[in-house]
Structure formats: C-alpha cells, structure tokens
Amino acid sequence: MGNIHNNNLIAGDRLAPVYTTVELTGLVQKNRVHRDVYLDPAIFDLEMERIWARAWVYVGHASQVPDPGDYIGTSIGKEPVLMVRDKRARVNVIYNRCGHKGAKVATKPGGNTAMFRCPYHGWTFNLDGTLNATPHKCGYEDTDFDTSDPQFSMQPVARVESHRGFVFASLAAEGEDLKTFMGATLETIDNMADRSPEGEVEVAGACLPYLHDCNWKMFVENLNDAQHPMVCHASVGFATRALMKRLPAGAEPPKEAEIISPFGASYQFFDDLGVSVMPNGHSFMGGQQSIHSAYSDIPGYLDSMIAAHGRERTEQVLGSNRHNTTIYPSFTIKDAVQIVRVVRPLAVDKTLIQTWHFRLKGAPEAMLHRTMTYSRLINSPASMVGPDDFDCYNRMQESLCSNSAQWVDMRRYIGREETLGPITRAKGTSDLSMRNQYRAWLHYMAGSEAQETQR
Ligand code: FES
Ligand SMILES: [Fe+2]
C-alpha cells in the first residue's frame, strides 16, 4: 500500500477517520492522483460513506416495477435496498433490512409480493416498508414496543426522486434536488426518452451483469477516455474496416460492422467529438456527432417519430448524439442506443457493471434488436470490445501495486479548456473528465475547503 496516509482504523469503529483532510487533499493534485485512491480498502470504505451515501445514486427504472407489489433488489453503495411499487402506485426505495434483528428480508433479484416477510422470525412489512405484523404478539405488552415506531420498519432511504422513470435515491437527508444535481446531463435522459414516438422508454430483457476485478473509478473514468479506443480496441476496429473494404461496391455493410468500426476511429475523430464536463463530476462526449451518429436508418422508425412529433422536433431529437454520459458516480447512459450501464462497487478491487436495455415505446421492434446487438458486440463479457477495456483495468489494478511510482497521470490538454456557463469543454482526448471527477471526489471526500486548496 502507499505511504501517504496514516492507516490506523480502530477495530469495530468503522466511522473512525482514517485519512485526515490534509492527507485526502494530498492524494489528488491538479494533474495526477495518488495510486492509493484505487488500492486502499480504507479509501473505499470512506468513498462508500462520503460519496455513495451522499450523492444521488441510480436505483432502477420504474418500468421494472409496473404493478403494485413488484420489486427489485439492488444496492446503494454498501446498503442493500429494494425498489418496490406500493398499492397506491408509488415507487418506494427501502432498506432491505428487517426492523427486528436486521436480517436481509428479500434475497431474490425481484418479484411480486403482497408484503415482505422476514424469513428469520416472521415479521411482515407493507410495501412502503412499515411494519405490518409480528407473530405471537405476547411478550411485548410491558415493553415500549410500538408497531408504528419507524425503528421497527424496513426503513425508507432518505430521498427518492425520478426523471422520465429513472429512479435515483440519496441516503442523505440534505442536499440538492435530483435535477440540480444532474445539471446538463438531464438532457441525455430526456433525449433517450424523446427518441420514443410515445415519449417513454421501458426496460426490455434481463440485466447483463459483468463482474470487473478492478476499482469502480477505473470503469467510470474509461467512459470518457478517448485516448484509448484506437489503441485498446485497435484489432477489432482493423478487422471490421478490412471486412467493409472487401464488400462489393454499393453493398450495405452489416449492422454489426457499422456498430464496431467507429471504435477504431482516429485521434482526430475523437478530438473533434469533444468532451464536456459539469459540476458534481458529470461528463459526456460528443453532441451533434458521436460514434453512433452514422448508423443507417431502421425502416419505419423515422416515419413513426415524424408522425408523433413532427419533422422539426424529430430532427432536433435525433440530431443530438452524445456518446457516453456519466452521471457521477453510479450511472452511465448511451441515449442514442438506449443502453444504461450501472456501477455497483463491491470492494476496492471488485465492481459489478450492470447493463440494461431500453425499448423506445411505439418504435419498430428492430430498434430494440439493434440495442441488443450493440450490447452483445460491445458490452457483454463475451463481446469484442468490453473485454479489451476489462483487460486494461486488470492490468492497472495489478501493476499500480508496484512501488516503482506512486502517481496516475491526468494532465493531457490541461489548461486548454473553455468554459461556457456551467459547462467546460475540451478536445475529446483530453483528461478533462478525469480531472473533473477527482474535483468532485475531493469535494465529497474532504469538503470544499480541500477542493479549493487543490485548485
Ligand atoms: S430478524 Fe427479521 S423477524 Fe427477526
Ligand atoms: Fe473502451
């Protein structure tokens, strides 16, 4: 482990500060970060308390719980939670913890239930988490036990808000509202939903899980790292372009080639896309152009959009082509291909990435097929692109342990950004999005005072 911090956690005292503000500030400089941010379990525990328990974290989409009693199980940082639709059609997010002695109540990934029943002593809970009943009631008469006391419920998380069906929760009672937190990334979610003739999306098919043996930040940083595709994904880009060159003149390229080939595009292409960052660590690449903007038409889709929204509005919606949008720390979205990848940190060197696919309501089913094809080609553990990235994260996680050097660089195009209102932009291969993430990281971890020092 590195040598900056004072690693003196007191056993059993999980809230004891392991790092002082000064030490945390020392881990993040303007142009580099110390390797301990990826390696130290004590930093991971602090991140769970100071970032993941404070920020708005993605929970799920309301279409995953369409009917009363529908629920899914997931987590916010280290906390197991359930997203459940109650009898009044409200979507609640409650801790998956029994109000009696703390057992995990629901263990399936999801389902439908009239109420939750703890398998240990049989306490039951309503769909909003309040205590319904306890078996064999005698024995509590002379105590202060009160069934309406929230301490005996499956407690609700502090704050839940949603936008276009995307449900986020914060474990912190205080903080900015969801829309303020999201800033300009809200438009990415809007754009995905607006690509539906009905203005709505719904989750389709199962989750595609991919367990990564690396720190969660490596995945989040990769999303807007445009220095890597032409190197890391070179072989698949080369093979696809070679295949396209061999096609007879005028022949339509296979859809698969159309999806894969931009991953081998040039530095110039990615520089021209540009990267945009905003407060709270969020970022996106592209805008009018992205690696998705040259896809061929799917028969019937444009007509269905024009019929629903008119030509002008349709051109406006389809003319927005952001690449990855990252809503720090948990949520990444490709609006133009209707895919969401969710970050679930499990340990300092273990992260679950969950890919979810969305149907554009009212659009031809072929749109969903393209979404699924994209995921099989790019996001799946058996795909031709995702495992390239995965291999590089593994290499970093392994070799950052080397004592040969302490720092991870992020200085490319530093000082060459342009700021317009809340958005700062730079060339696409800039490290700007990483610098912006660590600015947010430091703010969460050590407060605004440390952040100013770092500047
Ligand atoms: S721990 Fe759940 S009923 Fe006892
Ligand atoms: Fe990649």
Alpha-helix runs per DSSP H in 158-202: 178-182, 186-194
| Best probe residue, ligand 1, of 95, 97, 98, 107 (max atoms within 8 Å of C-beta) | 98
Residue with CA closest to ligand 1 atom 1: 101
229 CA from centroid of ligand 2 (Å): 5
Residue with CA closest to ligand 1 atom 4: 121
Residue with CA closest to ligand 1 atom 3: 121
* Residue reference for tokens 């499956």: 154
Residue 146 identity (one-letter amino acid):
D
Q: Is the CB of 4 under 6 A from ligand 1?
A: no
Nearest atom of ligand 1 to the alpha carbon of 118: 2
CATH 3.30.930.10 holds for 184-454: no
Q: Is the CB of 39 under 6 A from ligand 1?
A: no
SS3 assignment, position 368: helix
Q: Is the CB of 284 under 6 A from ligand 1?
A: no
How much is the pLDDT for 288? 78
Please state, in angstroms and rounded to a whole number, the distance separating the CA atoms of residues 139 and 130. 21
pLDDT in tens, 316-373: 999 999 999 999 999 999 999 999 999 999 999 999 999 999 999 999 999 999 999 9
pLDDT in tens, 227-274: 999 999 999 988 888 888 899 988 888 888 889 988 888 999 999 999
Residues 6+ apart with CB under 8 A from 268: none
| Best probe residue, ligand 1, of 96, 105, 118 (max atoms within 8 Å of C-beta) | 118
Helix-helix angle 301-309:311-318, to 10 degrees: 120
Residue boundaries of the structural domains of the chain: 57-163, 184-454
Backbone φ, ψ for residue 60 (5° rounding): 175, -175
Please state, in angstroms and rounded to a whole number, the distance separating the CA atoms of residues 428 and 439. 19
How much is the pLDDT for 3? 40
Please state, in angstroms and rounded to a whole number, the distance separating the CA atoms of residues 122 and 137. 12
How much is the pLDDT for 276? 97
Question: What is the fold of 57-163?
Answer: Rieske Iron-sulfur Protein (2.102.10)
How much is the pLDDT for 131? 98
- Cβ-count burial of 113 within 10 angstroms (0-12 exposed, 13-18 middle, 19+ buried)? middle
Kindly give the confidence (pLDDT) of every residue in the chain, 455 residues in length, as a single tens digit, with 9 standing for 90 and above. 344 444 443 334 445 468 999 999 999 999 999 999 999 999 999 999 999 999 999 999 999 999 999 999 999 999 999 999 999 999 999 999 999 999 999 999 999 999 999 999 999 999 999 999 999 888 998 899 999 999 999 999 999 999 999 999 999 999 999 999 999 999 999 999 999 999 999 999 999 999 999 999 999 999 999 999 999 999 998 888 888 889 998 888 888 888 998 888 899 999 999 999 999 999 999 987 777 777 888 999 999 999 999 999 999 999 999 999 999 999 999 999 999 999 999 999 999 999 999 999 999 999 999 999 999 999 999 999 999 999 999 999 999 999 999 999 999 999 999 999 999 999 999 999 999 999 999 999 998 666 555 54
Query: What is the 3-state composition of the chain as percent helix, strand, coil, each rounded to the nearest 5?
Result: 35, 25, 40
Q: Is the CB of 98 under 6 A from ligand 1?
A: yes
Q: Is the CB of 100 under 6 A from ligand 1?
A: yes
Nearest atom of ligand 1 to the alpha carbon of 101: 1
Nearest atom of ligand 1 to the alpha carbon of 123: 3
DSSP labels, 268-329: HHHHHH-EEE-GGG-EEEEES--TTTTPPPPTTHHHHHHHHH-HHHHHHHHT-EEEEEEETT
How much is the pLDDT for 13? 44
Ligand minimally distant from the alpha carbon of residue 387: 2
128 CA from centroid of ligand 2 (Å): 40
| Best probe residue, ligand 1, of 96, 116, 120 (max atoms within 8 Å of C-beta) | 120
Structure tokens at 240: 């696809």
